[in-house]
Structure 1
Amino acid sequence: MEYDVAIVGAGAAGIAAARTLVAQHRSVILLEASSRLGGRGCTIGLAGMPIDFGCGWLHSADRNPLVGIGEQAGFTIVRGTSAWTEQWRGLGFDAEEKAAAGDAWAALEQRLHDSPPASDRASDALAPAGEWNAFCRALSGYMNGADLDRLSVADFLAYDDAATEYNWRVREGYGTLLSASLPQLDLRLGTPVRGIANDGRGVRLDTGRGTVEARAAIVTISTNLLASGAIALGASANEHLHAATQLPLGLADKVFLEILAPEAFETETHLIGNPRDPNTGSYYIRPFGMPVIEAFYGGPGADMLERVGVSEAARFAIDELAALLGSEVRAKLRPLGGSQWCRTDWINGSYSHALPGHAGARAILARPIEERIFFAGEATHPTDFSTAHGAWQSGIRAANEVIDSRP
């Protein structure tokens, strides 16, 4: 059977592309290498709770299309401000220090806007020997999944200028919302695509389960996977593969701790472990009132914890919390699990950032090849990269490109 469109990858971009094409009555096959939907949107049930191992916040929620989609499907969208910028009871980070650190980050952002370094390297705008440089590096790790040394200023500003301050959540889990959004179509899980060839009349996709023929293909895999050569695309894709190497996935990981004595912790509160350590964890306490702490690590901190494994990462989290809350807290916490996105097959990282001097790689990666092979995914969005809604919007864009090309 020949399909109108074959979509490679069942994350947010692939699901959005599928919805758009099915709504236009195109025949679609969705090929996913792993055994599940959602990609980097991954909700797992732990201790009876829906836990988001991947994306968890509806960023720029006032313009995020997944808010309306979720509400229409009956999901619970929780509005309001988060506790991310707070430090519970000022523990280890009093109001004066917090204000000074916040001012240092604001000053860095202002320098990036007003006098960006010629190198396009964000770390070159840090204050020399600045007291809060480690704090700024930690924030970059959380936001970008990468240290300021590896971050393009132009790329960072493209996101920063477009983002809004509204960050909401979905109680049932972001990954659950994404997976539930898939329309009826031919879905094949556990089916990695090894190669895509354009024969002039359509495309042939080689998989471990035979060849799939379609009039066009939309490729939504991560930049790390694309750059690895996991899918053979031929010489016509050389520019795209090079662009993918300039848009590597940063790293952001989570460790989850079950609270055995919930009354000891206030719901919806937050702590940063050590604001003077660029590898420190950011701890969200009792989200949705659940008896759990979500420990979040980004950039070099996440890389360090991936090397030592989830168990050691949980021990590190408990050590940081005990330093703030007292040693008695150790008996009130139990490791539940954690993510290791760098080691996750068929993804190999968290979300993309442009290396210094290479912000233009996003536009290159988004270009179709010979009006037959199209690309989507968060890394192809010009401003909302690193988010699920950016991936979603890119899937719609690629689907409309296919429709307009009339393959």
Structure 2
Amino acid sequence: MERIDTVVVGAGVAGLTTARLLQAFGQRVVVLEARDRVGGRVHTVRTAGRVTDLGASWIHGVTDSPVAAAAEAFGMRTVEFTVGSFQPDGRPIASYAPDGTRSNDAAAAAFAEDVRAVDRALLGVIAASGPGESYRDVTERAIAARGWDAERAQRVREFLEHRAEEQYGVWIEDLAAHGLDDDQVEGDEVVFPDGYDRLPAHLAEGLDIRLEHVVSRVHWHGAGVEVTVDGTTDRSTLSAAAAVVTVPVGVLHSEAFTIDPPLPPAVAAPLGRLRMNAFEKVFLRFPTRFWDDGVYAIRQQGAEGRRWHSWYDLTSLDGEPTLLTFAAGPTARETRTWSREEVATSVMAQLRRLFPGAPDPVDVQITGWQDDPFSRGSYAYMTVGSVTSDHDDLATPIGSVLHLAGEATWTDDPATVTAAMCSGHRAAERVFGGEIPIERLWSSPR
């Protein structure tokens, strides 16, 4: 049986961060990755000269971001593309009323102020909410307090429904009242025209990473851990003083992955209140641009926007006219078995309400994270009954030898690459037993 210092399960950003920092301080580390590539849910594809980030796309706020610092150090080119927190304004947004006509500036501004008024009220309503309340519960109270007529209230209500879906890929009634507490962005947001996967590629340099090694069991005890690996040709076991498991919440919940003995209540309880979402990207590339110049996003209100309501203009990334929309929450589950043609037809029916005569797309790409056995969704969300501390509590050290890391284990900014990196840094420090500067990820020791 092979014996090492630390085994890391998963070669996403969290796992690579942990391994790189521990190796920099002299440990022998092996990273086991089920996929045939590194990056996890950071996944870039390159076809026909196009670069498409199917997984993570943004740094959501570059201010004081270690991901932004690492990207700069690695020479990764960025383009500013600030999406904020599904904002109602602040960027050039072409807003369309339920009848398909574009709202004038005054109507768009009035609607944005209605959203902001509810958001201001939500701060107190959420703070006073009970543990069994959903985001629907608190938003309904905040809306009701305004005393608006039914139509005005409905426009804001559907905006908040869409916000829950786009931010966390879940229906508003299934999200905890505190589920969007982290929904803050500090500084500009940026995307990567050359692909986000260059970040994990740099982090992986010099590490012992074993691809297509599917971990099925992690056995922990007082003296360390044994990790059972299903490789491409056989089954083997690695023994280590410690293990850092960075697989997504969906895998932790699955029968295909066993932790033995079972997780203690301090960790199992928060895990039980977190779930993987349903959130897919739909990229549509067109022969010509049919929407207005200078538009950052297109949004439609009303019942027609139940599935498809928001499109984001990605043309600035490579010059090809491109719109991005999301199948999120109920829509992601409803369209899960649809063909690419069926999805494209459905999306285009809504675009053509707003832009009659819009051409067919020349290329359509749709993600499939719900069906990925190594993620089982895009990222984690707080179910009703969850509390904010569940994220950090999920990372509670287990017997001083087993640690969980990943985007779901970081309270301040879950569901992001930043959370993955920060959680990996924390895990490395806990295994090491001392402070490790996170800057060691991208800089050489002096």
TM-score (norm 1): 0.91
> Paired residue for 1:177, among 181, 191, 199?
199
User: Could you tell me how far 1:96 is from its partner in structure 2?
Assistant: 4.0
2:284 paired with 1:257: yes
Decide whether aligned partners of structure 1 residues 195 and 280 sit closer, same or farther in structure 2, where only a CA change above 3 A counts. Answer: same
Distance in 1 (alpha carbons) for counterparts of 2:19 and 2:101: 48
Quote how far apart the aligned CAs of 1:238 are.
Answer: 4.5
Moved more, 201-210 or 268-277: 268-277
CA contact (8 A) 1:268 1:287 kept: no
Corresponding residue of 2:312: 284
Distance 1:100 1:302, change over 3 A: farther
8 Å Cα contact 1:152-1:358 kept in structure 2: yes
Q: Matched residues in 2 for 1:181 and 1:275: separation?
A: 45
1:363-383, CA deviations, whole angstroms, 9 ceiling, x for partnerless residues?
Answer: 331111101110101110011
Equivalent position to 2:162, from 138, 143, 146: 138
Tell me which moved more, 278-287 or 386-395. Answer: 278-287
Indicate the residue corresponding to 2:3 in structure 1. 2
Report the CA distance shift for 1:390/1:292 in structure 2 as closer, same or farther (over 3 A). Answer: same
Map residues 4-403 of structure 1 onto 2, 5 A cutoff.
4-79=5-80, 81=82, 85-88=91-94, 92-94=101-103, 95-116=105-126, 117-118=129-130, 119-125=132-138, 126=140, 127-128=143-144, 130-132=153-155, 133-157=157-181, 159-160=182-183, 163-209=185-231, 210-239=236-265, 240-262=267-289, 266=293, 269-274=296-301, 276=303, 277-285=305-313, 286-288=315-317, 289-326=319-356, 328-331=357-360, 333-359=361-387, 360-403=389-432
Q: Which has the larger radius of gyration?
A: 2
Q: State the SS of the aligned residue for 1:401.
A: helix
Question: 1:243, 1:364 within 8 Å by CA — same for their partners in 2?
Answer: yes
- AA aligned to 1:88 is A
Deviations 1:243-269 (A, max 9, x none): 223111222211111211258763763
315-324 or 288-297, larger mean C-alpha shift: 288-297
Q: Structure 1's 166 and 57: CA in aligned 2 closer, same or farther, altered over 3 A?
A: same
Give 3-state SS (helix, strand or coil) of 1:224's partner: helix
Check the 8 A contact 1:227/1:242 in 2, yes or no.
Answer: no
Residues of 2 paired with 1:148 and 1:89: CA distance? 22
- Structure 1 stretch 242-251 or stretch 136-145: which is displaced more? 242-251
The alignment yields a C-alpha RMSD, in angstroms, of: 2.4
TM-aligned CA deviation for residue 168 of structure 1? 1.4
Contact 2:137 2:177 in 1 (8 A): no
- Bigger mean CA deviation after superposition, 17-26 or 342-351: 17-26
**TM-score computed with the length of structure 2 as normaliser:** 0.83
Distance 1:379 1:275, change over 3 A: farther
Unaligned 5+ residue runs, structure 2?
Answer: 145-149, 436-446
SS of residue paired to 1:204: strand
Residue 54 to residue 258, structure 1, CA distance change in 2 (3 Å) = same
Q: Secondary structure of 1:105's match?
A: helix
Distance in 2 (CA, whole Å) between partners of 1:194 and 1:214 is: 16
Equivalent position SS for 2:59: coil
- Unaligned 5+ runs, structure 1: none
What is the rounded CA distance, in whole Å, between the counterparts of 1:216 and 1:358 in structure 2? 29
Name the CA distance, whole Å, in 2 between partners of 1:400 and 1:305.
42
Q: Give the partner amino acid of 2:414.
A: F
Cα distance in 2, alignment partners of residues 5 and 109 from structure 1: 45
3-state secondary structure, aligned to 1:110? helix
Q: Percent identity?
A: 25
